[in-house]
């Protein structure tokens, strides 16, 4: 029982230590570094092909081709989160106690023990000096709060009491970013969809899976446009889209790079584009009985010729083995096996432009664009963004503010002479506060001494 | 007057600044250090003018954008940031002998920019057309500049370790502030850099969310900026541990600056990723 308690206490101390924080930060740095050595997301087969079986085995055991999804990397993040929470639970009550601590008694002996203290001997009685002292300190530092003591005068003054809390804001912000990422990965999705011009679709492919999923609405690509600078570099990619619900148009919008479109929480990003074949006008000559016909073939379409044979446009190649655009055309004749062949569109005289007894000539190709969209739903984004905002605010405030406190004790040791003891402490140690403290003491000395002179010689 | 001429002159001004600071430190001459400061401000003015002209010229070419869009422009801007942050620090602390490293880095950045990168002004590719460009690049480079200065302070801090018993070091380090001040300055400048690096990563993340549909995708550049962030976060936490100040923070800062350089150059040339426009 005793041992068990000791174990938990030791574990708590480990989890609440800054040492663990530093170790975790450096371990995450090393882990992330490992994640940039190999291209991430390679499949085990690709790894084996590139690095050989033996190396691949180690790469797969350590997850080097997928570092950021491995258990060990995510455990480091979880440990960091636990470390942050335990540190906060451990230190927050201490900070609270320190700030709530009320001064009982201020004595010169106690103030002398401060590393930053100064003693002043001032002409004048305490009763006369007191209002001016309070005036100077509230002007140059913060209002003085008297502390009831024994006989003599004691007071404290403090600035930036909120400052010690700010470091907790920064730590909370890190937790929020991690939590937001977790929410996003649990409840969100990422996918990809392509739509050809003038077609509509509501299907997208989930990332990392072969599965197709369905959007709660339908999109139609009305127009895709790409413009170029004179240099030939791309200037803008633009997809004009229409949202349809239950077959009715709901909204028109456009999607550009850096200007995504959001509907019902789902965001579409302009990602890729390309062109494919819309229709081809093809002339068929030959067959039995002999016929000559020009037909408009859509991609994947089958059309009947006047003599009863059917022709089918199977595939389209933008550049077939360096011979330019080509169509794969099949001829289907009743009672015979279908025959198919590639037909070169730009070389009408090519002897191979023959399929199933027909001489085939491509008269015109009509291409159309298709546009590729990244599709995303991430309910954790706003949590992450709240974390980002708090992180910057908290960091700025924690780095550039401090809790500064001043203790003052004074007594009229001899009638007409006051002995004063000042001490100061800042949550940020360093030369800045030392300088400010010295300056303040000097101002008090000058101000009170001069004020006393004026009062004693009312000329 | 063109931006390229102005920036060429500026490169030599950074060199003059470096020579002044270096000889001031070696010959223990406050006058030379003072000259270094003066030339430093002049070089900063030259850099400002050069960047301003380049910005203006891009508008005259019909596709105006801030001069922060490729490797050349970012190097020129990086040199400018290092000089600016250093000179403001010098103004606040009156410690001129720390100028050697900032002037060296500013000069090397400018020299590298003019020798081995594409210097023509080019229009922005669609991915860079965003208001986040300026915020992201400015925040990152202010952070990098602070870390470059911290690197210099750390080197001085470690180099004076042997003479730490001697309150008045001789030789090249005679005009340096004492080690306690060096440590305090190092912490201050790391804090400054850390704040800006955080802002740089966050603006980059929000921008990536808008452009690519993911605020974080473990792209090599993103990952290396996170590694840098983690190292400096560790350096800041060292301060909270008893007896871990000084040396360890200095070593952390040196390793951290190595990560900065790798994030900036190494990732572009050795690893492929989304930040490809930074290689030209």
Q: Kindly report the three-state secondary structure assignment for every residue of A102-117.
A: CCCCCCHHHHHCCCCE
- Choose the mutation target among A180, A257, A373 for the interface with B, i.e. most B CBs under 10 Å: A257
**Which ipTM score applies to this complex?**
0.89
Task: Closest CB to A391: pick one of B198, B226, B231.
Answer: B198
Position B280 scores a pLDDT of: 45
Q: Report pLDDT digits (tens) over A94-107.
A: 989 888 887 777 88
Segment A199-228 mean pLDDT: 87
Looking at residue A395, what is its pLDDT?
A: 95
pLDDT given at position A278: 79
Q: Which of B195, B214, B215 sits opposite A399 (nearest CB)?
A: B195
CB contact under 8 A, A22 and B234: yes
Tokens of A291: 């016929």
- Whether B232 and chain A come into contact, CB under 8 Å, resolves to no
Under an 8 A CB cutoff, do B210 and A259 touch?
A: yes
Indicate yes or no: CB of B230 within 8 angstroms of CB of A392: no
Residue owning tokens 């980059």: B204
- For residues B136 and B127, what is the distance between their CA atoms, to the nearest angstrom? 14
- Inter-residue contact A59 to A51 (CB < 8 Å): yes
Q: How far is CA A290 from the centre of its chain?
A: 67
Given this model, what pLDDT does residue A287 score? 83
Least confident of B63-67, B110-114, B159-163: B159-163
Query: Chain A partners of B227 at a C-beta cutoff of 8 Å?
Result: 29, 32-33
- Check if B233 contacts A (Cβ < 8 Å): yes
What's chain B's average pLDDT?
87
Residues 1-60 of B with CB under 8 A from A: none
Task: Tell which B residues from 161 to 180 touch A, by Cβ distance under 8 Å.
Answer: none
Poorest-pLDDT segment among A259-268, A349-358, B197-206 = A349-358
* Chain A residue numbers touching B216 (CB-CB < 8 A): 181
C-alpha dihedral, B153 to B158 to B159 to B160, nearest 10°: 90
Give whichever of A20-29, A91-100, A324-333 has the largest mean pLDDT.
A20-29
CB contact under 8 A, B213 and A271: yes
Cα separation of A137 and A142, whole Å?
A: 6
Residue B277 has pLDDT above 70, yes or no: no
Do A438 and A120 contact (CB within 8 A), yes or no?
no
What is the average per-residue pLDDT within B107-135?
A: 84
Instruction: Spell out the alpha helix ranges (H) of A145-228.
Output: 166-187
pLDDT on residue A197: 87
Task: Concatenate the DSSP letters of all residues of B194-259 into one string.
Answer: HHHHHHHHHHHHHHHHHHHS-S----HHHHHHHHHHHHHHHHHHHTTSTT--THHHHHHHHHHHHH
Arithmetic mean of pLDDT, B110-135: 83
Q: Which pLDDT does position A346 carry in this prediction?
A: 84
Contacts of B147 (CB under 8 A, 6+ apart): B190, B193, B197, B228, B232, B253, B256, B257, B260
> pLDDT tens for residues B246-259?
888 899 999 999 99
Tokens of B33: 């250090």
State yes or no: pLDDT of B169 exceeds 80: no
The 10 Å Cβ neighbour count of residue B254 is 16
Q: How far is A133 from chain B (nearest CA, A)?
A: 31
Question: CA-CA distances (angstroms) from residue A327 to A122, A196, A296, A360?
Answer: 103, 19, 13, 10
Q: Closest partner residue to B237 among A18, A28, A381, by Cβ?
A: A18
Contact B278, B71 (CB under 8 A): yes
Structure-model confidence comparison of residues A31 and A130, the more confident one: A31
> Which of B126, B241, B267 minimises the CB distance to A18?
B241
pLDDT at A453: 60
Q: Does B251 touch chain A (CB under 8 A)?
A: no
Q: Tell me the average pLDDT across A100-127.
A: 84
Q: Any CB–CB contact under 8 A between A40 and chain B?
A: yes
Once rounded to an integer, what is the mean pLDDT over residues A172-180? 95
pLDDT of B140 > 70? The answer is yes
Instruction: Say if residues A353 and A320 touch (Cβ distance below 8 Å).
Output: no
Say if residue B163's pLDDT is above 70: no
Q: Which residues fall within 8 angstroms of residue B272, CB to CB, at 6 or more apart?
A: A39, B220
CA triple A127-A132-A135, angle to 5 deg: 135
Distance to chain A for B16, nearest Cα, Å:
33
The whole-number average pLDDT for the span A252-274 is: 89
| Nearest chain B residue (CA) to A230 | B123
- Tens of pLDDT, residue by residue over B26-45, are 888 889 989 999 999 999 99
pLDDT tens by residue, A126-160:
888 888 888 888 888 888 888 876 668 888 999 99
Suggest the residue from A21, A23, A36 to mutate for an interface test with chain B (most B CBs closer than 10 A).
A36
Q: Is the pLDDT of residue A455 over 70?
A: no
Nearest CA in chain A to B235: A22
Segment A354-397, tens digit of pLDDT: 888 899 988 888 888 888 998 999 999 999 999 999 999 999 99
Instruction: Check B212 against A231: CB less than 8 A apart.
Output: no
Nearest to B123 among A229, A256, A430 (CB): A229
* Burial class (CB within 10 angstroms; exposed 0-12, middle 13-18, buried 19+) of A226: middle
A23-27, A218-222, A296-300, A392-396: the lowest-pLDDT one: A296-300
Tell me what percent of the residues of chain B surpass a pLDDT of 70: 90
When pLDDT is averaged across residues A426-434 and rounded to a whole number, the result is 81
**pLDDT average, residue stretch A24-51:** 86
Which region holds residue B243: left if phi is over 0, alpha if psi is between -120 and 50, else beta? left
In this prediction, residue B165 carries a pLDDT of 58
pLDDT bin (cut points 50, 70, 90) of residue B266 is confident
**Residues A353, A358, A361, A364: is their CA dihedral positive or negative?**
negative
Nearest to A204 by CA among A290, A271, A249, A251: A271
| Per-residue model confidence (pLDDT) at position B18 | 94
Rounded to the nearest 5 degrees, what angle is found at the Cα of A147, between the Cα atoms of A141 and A149?
140
> CA distances (Å), B192 to each of A424, B40, B150, B185, in order?
26, 21, 10, 11
**DSSP letter assigned to residue A259:** B
Per CB-CB distance under 8 Å, the chain A contacts of B272 are 39
Which of A88, A170, A258 to probe the B interface (max B CBs under 10 A)? A258
Q: How far apart are CA A133 and CA A72, in angstroms?
A: 61
CA A341, A342, A343, A349 torsion: positive or negative? negative
Asked if pLDDT for residue B111 goes beyond 50, the answer is yes
CA pair distance A430, A436, nearest whole angstrom: 11
Residue A68 has pLDDT above 80, yes or no: yes
B220 in reach of chain A (CB within 8 A): yes
Tokens of A240: 């004009």
Nearest-angstrom CA–CA distance, A408 and A102: 14
Calculate the CA dihedral of residues B87, B90, B95, B99 and round it to 10 degrees: -20
Cβ pair B129:A22 closer than 8 A? no
> What part of A 57-76 touches B (C-beta under 8 Å)?
68
B129: nearest CB among A25, A68, A258: A258
CA A281 to CA B64: how far, in whole Å? 45
Set of chain A residues whose Cβ sits within 8 Å of the Cβ of B214: 190, 374, 376
Question: What CA–CA distance (Å, rounded) separates B182 from B195?
Answer: 20
Q: How far apart are CA A346 and CA A363, in angstroms?
A: 9
Name residues whose C-beta falls within 8 Å of residue B214's C-beta, 6 or more positions apart in sequence.
A190, A374, A376, B208
- Sequence-distant (6+) residues with CB within 8 A of A104 are A147
The nearest CA of chain B is from the CA of A64 a distance in Å of 13
Taking residues A398-422, report their average pLDDT. 88
Question: What is the C-alpha separation between B165 and B183, in angstroms, rounded?
Answer: 16
A259 interface with B at CB cutoff 8 Å:
yes
Backbone angles phi, psi at A185, to 5 degrees: -75, -25
Q: What mean pLDDT value characterizes chain A?
A: 87
Strands A339-344 and A145-146, sheet pairing: unpaired
pLDDT at B272 over 70: no
Ranges A289-298, A326-335, B261-270: which has the least confidence: B261-270
When mean pLDDT is compared over A49-58, A263-272, A408-417, the highest value belongs to: A263-272
> What is the model's pLDDT at position A458?
46
pLDDT average, residue stretch A181-193: 90
Instruction: Answer whether residue B278 shows pLDDT above 60.
Output: no
Instruction: Give the integer Cα–Cα distance in Å for A260 and B130.
Output: 12
Run of H or E including A11: helix A2-15
pTM (2 decimals)?
Answer: 0.84
Extract the tokens encoding A59.
């790469």
DSSP B278: G
Q: How confident is the model at residue A21, as a pLDDT? A: 92
Rg (alpha carbons) of chain A, rounded to whole number: 40
Taking residues A4-20, report their average pLDDT. 87
Given this model, what pLDDT does residue B242 score?
67
- Is B215 an interface residue toward A (CB < 8 Å)? yes
The residue of chain B with its CA nearest to that of A236 is: B126
Nearest to B232 by CA among B250, B246, B253, B247: B253
The count of CB pairs under 8 A between chains A and B is 106
Distance in angstroms (rounded) separating the CA atoms of residues A37 and B223: 11
Which neighbouring-strand residues pair with A120?
A420
pLDDT at A449: 76
Q: Is the confidence at residue B120, as pLDDT, over 60?
A: yes
- A388 to chain B: which residues are within 8 Å by CB? 202, 205-206
With a cut of 90, say whether residue B19 has pLDDT above it. Answer: yes
Whether omega for the bond prior to residue A289 falls within 30 degrees of 0, making it cis, is: yes
Q: Are B186 and B150 in contact (CB under 8 A)?
A: yes
Q: Does B129 touch chain A (CB under 8 A)?
A: yes
Using the predicted structure, report yes or no on whether residue B162 has a pLDDT greater than 90: no
Test B63 with A399 for CB contact under 8 angstroms: no
pLDDT score of A459 more than 50: no
């Amino acid at each position: 029982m005793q041992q068990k308690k000791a174990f938990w206490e030791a574990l708590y101390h480990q989890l609440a230590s800054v040492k663990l924080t530093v170790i975790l930060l450096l371990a995450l740095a090393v882990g992330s570094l490992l994640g940039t050595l190999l291209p991430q997301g390679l499949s085990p087969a690709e790894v084996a092909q590139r690095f050989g079986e033996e190396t691949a085995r180690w790469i797969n055991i350590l997850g080097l081709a997928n570092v950021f999804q491995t258990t060990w990397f995510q455990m480091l993040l979880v440990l960091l989160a636990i470390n942050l929470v335990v540190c906060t639970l451990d230190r927050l009550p201490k900070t609270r106690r320190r700030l709530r601590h009320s001064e009982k008694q201020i004595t010169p002996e106690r103030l002398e023990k401060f590393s930053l203290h100064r003693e002043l001997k001032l002409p004048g009685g305490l009763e006369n000096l007191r209002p001016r002292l309070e005036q100077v300190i509230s002007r140059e530092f913060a209002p003085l709060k008297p502390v009831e003591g024994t006989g003599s005068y004691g007071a404290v003054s403090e600035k930036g009491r909120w400052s010690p809390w700010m470091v907790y804001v920064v730590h909370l912000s890190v937790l929020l970013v991690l939590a937001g990422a977790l929410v996003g990965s649990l409840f969100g999705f990422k996918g990809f969809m392509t739509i050809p011009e003038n077609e509509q679709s509501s299907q997208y492919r989930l990332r990392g899976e072969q599965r197709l999923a369905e959007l709660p609405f339908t999109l139609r690509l009305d127009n895709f446009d790409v413009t170029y600078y004179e240099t030939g570099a791309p200037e803008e990619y633009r997809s004009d889209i229409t949202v349809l619900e239950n077959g009715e148009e709901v909204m028109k919008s456009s999607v550009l790079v850096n200007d995504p479109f959001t509907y019902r929480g789902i965001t579409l990003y302009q990602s890729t584009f390309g062109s494919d074949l819309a229709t081809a006008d093809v002339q068929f000559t030959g067959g039995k009985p002999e016929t000559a016909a020009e037909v408009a073939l859509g991609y994947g379409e089958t059309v009947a010729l006047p003599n009863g044979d059917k022709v089918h446009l199977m595939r389209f190649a933008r550049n077939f083995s360096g011979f330019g655009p080509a169509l794969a055309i099949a001829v289907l004749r009743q009672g015979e096996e279908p025959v198919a062949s590639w037909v070169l569109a730009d070389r009408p005289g090519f002897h191979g432009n023959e399929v199933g007894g027909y001489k085939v000539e491509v008269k015109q190709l009509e291409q159309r664009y298709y546009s590729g969209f990244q599709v995303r739903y991430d309910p954790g984004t706003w949590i992450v963004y709240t974390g980002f905002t708090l992180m910057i605010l908290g960091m700025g405030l924690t780095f550039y503010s401090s809790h500064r406190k001043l203790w003052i004790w004074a007594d009229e040791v001899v009638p007409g002479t006051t002995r004063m003891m000042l001490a100061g402490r800042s949550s940020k140690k360093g030369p800045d506060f030392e300088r400010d403290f010295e300056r303040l003491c000097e101002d008090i000395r000058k101000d009170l001494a001069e004020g006393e002179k004026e009062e004693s010689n009312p000329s | 007057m063109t931006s390229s001429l102005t920036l060429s002159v500026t490169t030599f001004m950074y060199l003059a600044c470096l020579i002044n600071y270096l000889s001031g430190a070696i010959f223990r001459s406050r006058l030379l250090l003072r000259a270094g400061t003066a030339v430093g401000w002049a070089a900063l003015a030259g850099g400002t003018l050069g960047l301003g002209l380049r910005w203006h010229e891009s508008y005259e070419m019909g596709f105006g954008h801030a001069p922060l869009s490729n490797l050349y422009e970012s190097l020129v801007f990086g040199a400018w940031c290092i000089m600016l942050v250093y000179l403001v620090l010098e103004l606040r602390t009156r410690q001129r002998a720390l100028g050697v490293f900032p002037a060296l880095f500013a000069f090397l950045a400018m020299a590298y920019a003019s020798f081995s990168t594409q210097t023509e002004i080019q229009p922005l590719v669609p991915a860079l057309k965003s208001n986040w460009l300026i915020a992201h690049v400015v925040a990152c480079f202010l952070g990098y500049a602070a870390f470059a200065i911290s690197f210099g302070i750390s080197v001085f801090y470690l180099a004076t370790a042997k003479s730490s018993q001697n309150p008045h070091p001789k030789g090249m380090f005679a005009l340096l502030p004492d080690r306690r001040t060096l440590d305090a300055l190092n912490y201050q400048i790391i804090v400054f850099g850390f704040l800006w690096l955080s802002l740089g990563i966050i603006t980059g993340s929000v921008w990536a969310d808008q452009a690519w549909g993911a605020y974080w995708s473990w792209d090599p550049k993103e990952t290396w900026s996170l590694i840098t962030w983690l190292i400096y976060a560790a350096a800041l936490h060292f301060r909270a541990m008893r007896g871990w100040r000084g040396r360890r923070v200095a070593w952390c800062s040196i390793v951290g600056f190595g990560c900065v350089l790798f994030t900036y150059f190494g990732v572009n040339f050795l690893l492929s990723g989304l930040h490809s426009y930074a290689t030209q």
